[in-house]
Amino acid sequence: MPGLVRSVRTPEFAGVVFHEVLAKSVLNRVPEGSPMPFRWTVNPYRGCTHACSYCLHGDTPILMADGTTKPLSDLKVGDRVYGTERRGSYRHYVPTEVLDHWSTVKPAYRVTLVDGTQLIASGEHRFLTERGWKHVTGEISGSARRPHLTAGNKLMGTGRFALPPKDTADYRRGYLSGIARGDGTITESARAAARVSDYLTGDFALTLPIEWPRTPTDEWRKGLLAGVFDADGTFSHRILRLPNLGSRTLAAVVEALETFGFAYAQESRRAPGGKACIRVDGGLAEHLRLFHTTDPAATEKRSIDDAAIKSGARLGVVSVEPLGLDLPLFDITTGTGDFIANGVVSHNCFARNSHTYLDLDAGHDFDTQIVVKVNAPQVLTRQLASPRWDRSHVAMGTNTDPYQRAEGRYRLMPGIIGTLAKHGTPFSILTKGTLLARDIPLLRAVHADTPVSLGVSIALLDRELQHSLEPGTASPQARLELVRKLTEAGLPCTVSVAPVLPGLTDSEEHLDALFEQIAAAGATTVMVTPLHVRPGAREWFAAWLAREHPHLVPLYRRVYGRSSYATQPYRAALSTRVAPLLRRHSLTTTALDLPVPTPRTEEPQLTLL
């Protein structure tokens, strides 16, 4: 990262990394042809902690592409896991790669299934049911309306994963007994050979010969089944066989299978030396249970690639209960868009398109990898001292919020404000962050000599919709209180009613209530702007809309099509709806809309959803 001084993690910002850099420039020129009414911006931060992610508990076992499981919290970018892929009428299990991994703190819910599975997840997380993807929680009407789990829904998947065996001396003895009595060779599996070598020569080496126990333990039985499978076992065409079993090994294998409740059959087929073959029945769910219970080393023989998601597992939802706790939760992004969490198909969070300027993504990285220009006031002082500086208006908050939570740690804005005022440069600040109130005395002082305009973004009043759309930001009520403080201090404050969302926040009833609260807070000017979504933010919003309000997808296709901006008819209709409401509440407007620029031919045109 150019100019990087250090990367910092702090307890008060769990899951966030601050990359402190020495910037060469903080004064940025707006590209020619932009519809924005200013030509210069200052952004002391890249990325914004106002966002968050939606996740599962870190202990949740995830099905890896080698057939093993790993806790969700332990996954890393580049790991191979199982996801699903639709082919015709069925989804099939396919390997996929972990593209992103992160954590957050969210209110937790417990989802209990008929087979005893318990999943700890946030209310926003989604699982695949017989009737499609459903959130953990939701409502049947109102702004929180969305498909959600209810008692009786059936999830899709294999059923809960069995706990792995413990690496005890008994397990190791059982494994070596299975390898030796399987009458096969282990050279075909490097992993099995390595395990045998470790058991015979490692720190806790066993000595030969390995004696069979008179009274086997469960761990010995698990080791025996793993060893027999590694020696000669096969798993092909969804059939699991344990062949080449002599009479003594056959009896021990049958006893172990019965102890753990596995259904099996002894196949009647001729084998050299009168050896027997056991077929383990029960389908994919039982085969995975056997693998996870016994943990064979030969993971290359445990592939479930291309198996259809068909299972008799009892995955009906019994209950969804709030735990009443905010817990650390984790999530991943995969190539298939899903993964298998404790035996059920789980939707992953959507990461926005690549954050190309630093090889960071614009989803999780944008939320948690915050670039801080720690020398911003000093660099700005040097740039504004140039004789070529013409004291043009500088806008802040047009890209990332200068008063996000990180500003409480780094306190860059007082130096930036002081520098702008010292050089007679008019400026504006747009924010969702109530931290702006900290600098009201400074803003009052500089406003006496320097033109200052302040904007607070308040798009809606509904707390549930705000929590879904802008989960990391201050509440609408807190932002209204900020407006009140600014106007009482005599500072000019415009409320940015943006973005106006078709079908969600553009009704006359919603706008009327919002304008009433804005006027009561002391503001006299608003700027009403419908949603516009550029590539990067566009993909994130499209995923959010499909996830939270799928019934509105057709409307957004009509209003946006292949453009980042709403159609002219929609903008005209919104202006017509807003005008009488502004008069009713004695509000003026700086703009009801932004002009739509002619897209450059080289810019990609992406279809919304």
**Nearest Cα residue to 293 out of 259, 316, 264:** 259
Domain at 458-609: CATH architecture: Alpha-Beta Horseshoe (3.80)
Which carries the bigger pLDDT value, residue 209 or residue 313? 313
Whether the pLDDT of residue 606 is over 60: the answer is no
N- to C-terminal Cα separation, the chain: 33
Which tokens hold the place of 289? 């249970």
> CATH 2.170.16.10 in the chain, residues?
56-160+313-347
* Residue 500 pLDDT grade (very low, low, confident, very high; cuts 50, 70, 90): very high
Query: What is the per-residue pLDDT for 203?
Result: 64
CB 150 within 8 A of CB 135: no
Decide: 6 and 20 in contact? Cβ < 8 Å. Answer: yes
Percent of the chain whose pLDDT exceeds 70: 84
Tens of pLDDT, residue by residue over 383-435, are: 999 999 999 999 998 777 899 888 988 999 999 999 999 999 999 999 988 99
Contacts of 86 (CB under 8 A, 6+ apart): 92
Q: Are 449 and 426 in contact (CB under 8 A)?
A: no
Residue scoring higher pLDDT (456 or 401) = 456
Query: Where is pLDDT greater, at 72 or 95?
Result: 95
186-204: buried (b, 16+ CB within 10 Å) or exposed (e) per residue?
beebebbbebbeebeeeee
Q: Which fold has domain 169-301?
A: Endonuclease I-creI (3.10.28)
Provide the 3-class DSSP secondary structure of residue 97.
strand
CA distance 475 to 54: 19
* Buried residues in 166-180 as b, exposed as e (16+ CB within 10 A): eeeebbbbbbbbbbb
Cα 162–73–336 angle (5° rounding)? 80
Q: Between residues 359 and 10, which one has the greater pLDDT?
A: 10
Contacts 24+ apart (CB under 8 A), 75-82: 75/101, 75/330, 75/332, 76/101, 77/101, 81/332, 81/334, 81/339, 81/340, 82/304, 82/339, 82/340
Global pTM value:
0.51
Q: Residue 591 — pLDDT band, cuts 50, 70, 90?
A: low
Q: Is the dihedral of CA 52, 57, 59, 65 positive or negative?
A: negative
User: In the prediction, which pLDDT does 414 show?
Assistant: 97
Residue span(s) of the chain under CATH 3.80.30 come to: 458-609
The reported pLDDT for the residue numbered 181 is: 65
- Among 55-59, 170-174, 229-233, the minimum mean pLDDT is found in 55-59
CATH classification for the domain delimited by 56-160+313-347, as one of 3.40.50.1950, 1.10.287.3510, 2.90.10.10, 2.170.16.10 = 2.170.16.10
Strand residues in 136-295 grouped as ranges (E) = 234-236, 239-245, 264-267, 276-280
pLDDT at 101: 76
- pLDDT per position as a tens digit, 218-274: 999 999 999 999 998 999 888 999 998 988 899 999 999 999 999 999 987 766 677
DSSP lists the bridge partners of residue 29 as 40
Task: Name the token pair of 215.
Answer: 């009274």
With bands split at pLDDT 50, 70 and 90, how would you rate the model's confidence at 603? very low
Which pLDDT does position 108 carry in this prediction? 82
CATH 3.10.28.10 residue ranges for the chain: 169-301
Residue 365 has pLDDT above 90, yes or no: no
